[in-house]
Chain A
């Protein structure tokens, strides 16, 4: 069964500092992986996705993530945090066992950016 684990339900960084949000996945075969962002009182928006092409994936708003099969990880990073990055971030997985029809989400990580 597919699943993702997000380490840290709350992360605080200073404005301008590195953002690192951790995600580890569990899947019987190489899955597709996603990061979504949710701003207050809104639905989720896709930040980036990994679909077995390049292992370093660039997304919107300066975010990127690296797929590391040996570590079963897909951590999200941004070199310099901006106040507008404050939101909740969800890692998600979809694997072929489910026909890639379903996406399983992690519990989310709330990012606080301190001025």
Chain B
């Protein structure tokens, strides 16, 4: 009954370093999403994948890349981390792209600090 699993839960990076945030879901969901959460700004969509093999930019894609490795996994990569990318990152999944009918299931988040 894992749902959406994100790793790592915490990470500290130096400016310029790269890293990949991992997300996996075991609910056979088709669509997956990456959001970042910042104080006073709510959640903002970085990238999403409506189905295996497709990815699209969200509201704030600059500085990030994604890979939909298979139906279960959707990773987020920071190629050259910047302090502005300090945030809490949430992965979410949904059974279909009709969000109203299927809703989101969220992971517990990755807290990333870039120094």
Q: Is the interface of A mostly helix, strand, loop or mixed?
A: loop
Measured CB to CB, the closest approach of chain A to B94, in angstroms, equals 9
**Contact partner of B97 among A32, A41, A101, A104, CB < 8 A?**
A101
Given contacts A9-B40, A101-B48, A108-B42, contact A94 B99 (CB under 8 A): yes
Point out residues on B near A: beta carbons under 8 Å.
4, 31, 35, 40-45, 48, 50, 58-59, 90, 92, 97-101, 103-104, 106-109
Given contacts A42-B108, A43-B90, contact A105 B99 (CB under 8 A): no
Decide if A115 is an interface residue (CB 8 Å cutoff): no
Given contacts A44-B90, A51-B100, contact A102 B58 (CB under 8 A): yes
Q: Given contacts A43-B108, A104-B45, could you give 20 more A-B pairs where the C-beta distance is less than 8 Å?
A: A34-B103, A42-B108, A43-B4, A43-B90, A43-B106, A43-B109, A44-B43, A44-B92, A49-B103, A51-B100, A100-B97, A101-B31, A101-B50, A101-B99, A102-B48, A105-B35, A107-B40, A107-B41, A107-B42, A108-B42
